[in-house]
Amino acid sequence: MYTQEEAKQLRKQFWILFGKRCKLVPELQDGNKKWVLYDTKITGLDLKFEVDRQSAKVIIEVNHRNEKKRLEIFEKLQKYKPILENGFEDGLEWDFLYVRESGEEVCRVFVEQKGFDIHRQNQWPDIYNFLIDNMLWLESNFMDIRDVLKEEL
């Protein structure tokens, strides 16, 4: 078991090594290409990685402060569900009411791999592969609809 400080350092090391691993991804080696993440060009919509003691997730998160706007964005995403789920054998999880640890309500569309534990360093290569492979798909699918989505919102 790790102390709180040790767990914090472990998480920091995980993400540092993840950044180094991403530099080896051919799709990310073209110039200064980086993950879209918070630069979606749509207010209140982000792409995210999340890893904890139970699983790893690659997420589209709708976190607009205005609930009506948040649900509107989520409904628009649902309209493009076939495009967003392209390449995901089992589809994506759609959660219109996810409550973060902070109590903030958001909407999420995600793919999850259970059984991963960030504290198990021997799992890190598999976690990195899961995160990279799935974010490449999710980001590509999102970019296919981003401009249309922006116009509709």
User: Rounded to an integer, what distance in angstroms lies between the CA atom of residue 64 and that of residue 46?
Assistant: 10
Q: Could you tell me which residue, 29 or 85, shows the higher pLDDT?
A: 85
Q: How many domains does the chain have?
A: 1
Instruction: Give me the DSSP letters along 124-141.
Output: HHHHHHHHHHHHHHHHHH
- Is residue 51 assigned to a domain? yes
The strands making up 55-62's β-sheet, listed across from edge to edge, are 45-51, 55-62, 105-114, 93-99
Q: Which domain holds residue 51?
A: 45-152
pLDDT in the model for residue 1: 73
| Mean pLDDT of all residues in 78-96 | 97
The packing angle between helices 67-79 and 124-152, to 10°, is 100
- Is residue 85 assigned to a domain? yes
Which tens digits make up the pLDDT trace of 13-22? 999 999 999 9
Which tens digits make up the pLDDT trace of 116-151? 999 999 999 999 999 999 999 999 999 999 999 999
Residue 79, exposed/middle/buried by CB under 10 A (0-12, 13-18, 19+)?
A: middle
| Mean pLDDT of all residues in 51-77 | 97
Q: Is pLDDT above 80 for 30?
A: no
pLDDT in the model for residue 33: 66
Q: Count H helices, E strands: the chain? A: 4, 4
- Is residue 4 assigned to a domain? no
- Is residue 30 assigned to a domain? no
Q: CA-based angle 100:97:59, to the nearest 5?
A: 65
pLDDT in the model for residue 31: 58
- Is residue 101 assigned to a domain? yes
Contacts of 76 (CB under 8 A, 6+ apart): 149, 152, 153
